[in-house]
Structure 1
Amino acid sequence: MAVAIIALIAITSTTVLLRAHPEVGHWRSTEALADYRAAHAELLATLPVAPERLDVPTDHGVVHALHWPGDGEPVLLIPGRSSGSAQWVENLPGWIGDRPLYALDPLGDAGFSTQRLPLGSADEQADAYLEVLDELAITRAHVVGHSFGGAQAAMFATRHPDRVASLALMEPVLVISPLPAATYFWAAVSTLPVPASWRDRALAEIGGTTVEEVRADSPMARMIDTASQGYSAQLPMPRTLDDEQWRALDMPVRLDLGGRQSLSGTDAADRIRALLPDATVTVWPDGTHSLPMDHHTEFDRLLPEFWDTADTP
């Protein structure tokens, strides 16, 4: 399962950096979209309850969301790159039926959202989530983000803290510290016309996993591989937030990092502990960048407990 998230980082961490002018994300072919749709449907079929599908209008396009009903303040789930709303299928069975859940396909990235205008900055991207909450008549939400989705969640919280009941960041990239230098090297290798064995090695190095795990087949791996190759993602690069931006966050914050391999930066845990002494910071010793899947059983329990605590005055 880890390769699903590893692949998207390897491919996008270099292509996003090299993109000079923002455009509109789009599927490169109807065949790629059909393959993605099939893998997405296969993953959703494993869930105990089928979601309601929503199309939410924003200035930059229509955001597609999966919705499960529940009670209390809702949860907004923002996935990593090239995965979309189905990234959370291993976590969702533990969360469905409690709070209202909204799993989004971010604008400009693979999924079923339709981008109309370019996203010129990370701030514009964050503001699109505000429009989503407004359209859904959500006053505040518990915001959860993984990888690039974690970066978007953090940006949204700094710009609109009054709309965030709690903030859970799982292996967020760039917003705490720059990517490790080795990531750029192996990401470049993965995008070159090299033998498949070299690319598999690069993906394994980035994800802190084995070549055998990289080569393992699963609906999640097929979906994200199709997305990373078949969708032309057009997204602004997240930026590292300064100390004052982090200190200004007054909602409960949870940060979870992989101990075996992390793309959040070597000093991410220490920095957040220093800037946000009340935050819950956990480094999972055997965790990788694919943390939500690595420890989905634990997060099925820990995140609802975190949300309940955040609700307590």
Structure 2
Amino acid sequence: MDMHKRINAAVARAVALGQTGKAPSQLSTALGYATTPGGARIRPTILMSVALACGDDRPELSDAAAAALELIHCASLVHDDLPCFDDADLRRGKPSVHRAYSEPLAVLTGDSLIVLAFEVLARAAPHAPDRAMQLVLTLARQTGMPNGICAGQGWESEARIDLSAYHQSKTGALFIAATQMGAVAAGQEAEPWHELGARIGEAFQVADDLRDALYDIETLGKPAGQDDLHGRPNAVASLGVDGAIRRLKDILSGAIASIPSCPGEAKLAEMVRLQAERLTPVVEPVQAKA
């Protein structure tokens, strides 16, 4: 099974756990709606790539970690789109969950996906209890406070924003979780993988800032111009388009250089390069909105 199919299968199994028994039908279907289609599944792809590079000796644990991470990411998107935050009508080219199902069900969908993520890790614990506990701790740290994605959302309510802390939490946290959880699932220490995740996360934040500034709603599959609309700090506002593009390339070069020594180091570096290529066309002016 190729990696993308493996990840999608793991996510599908995880979502199915929340759809069994006498579950309320609308909330049950909303879980599937919020997690499909999955797009590139970039965070679990990074996690799985790291696990494979480190040996992937407990594939059941790697699958659970990848699914749990993706569930947290999808939950964050559901909550991001709510009227109290971005009030976005579209996500991944289709109506956002609160538009398709109602605001109360969107809140419950996001909450349910978060809880389900940790259930998935708990269920995988028999395969390697010590690793599973570290996976739970790592994901919790990068999801909540003081430095996880909840903190990232919280920074938007502050009168003065620490741009570095904001980006590290808002976008970087789940990329740090991806690299660290991939290593832990394969029996490696988490800390050496922090820098790689942080650099990839920073690169994606800069790329997202560029997409938001340059692209239209049809290209993005979600509302454009949100940073400007909500007055958020972003790389384009700080550095300009050309400066943001240069910054993106510098970060990606640094990410490759930061990969810890491991059996699959060369393949992992190639994965990062492929992600760099995936990001680069996004910032080409020829596709920018008028």
Using CA pairs under 8 Å that are at least 6 residues apart, name the structure with larger relative contact order, 1 or 2.
Answer: 1
Q: Which has the higher strand share?
A: 1
What TM-score do the two structures reach when normalised by structure 2?
Answer: 0.30
What TM-score do the two structures reach when normalised by structure 1?
Answer: 0.28
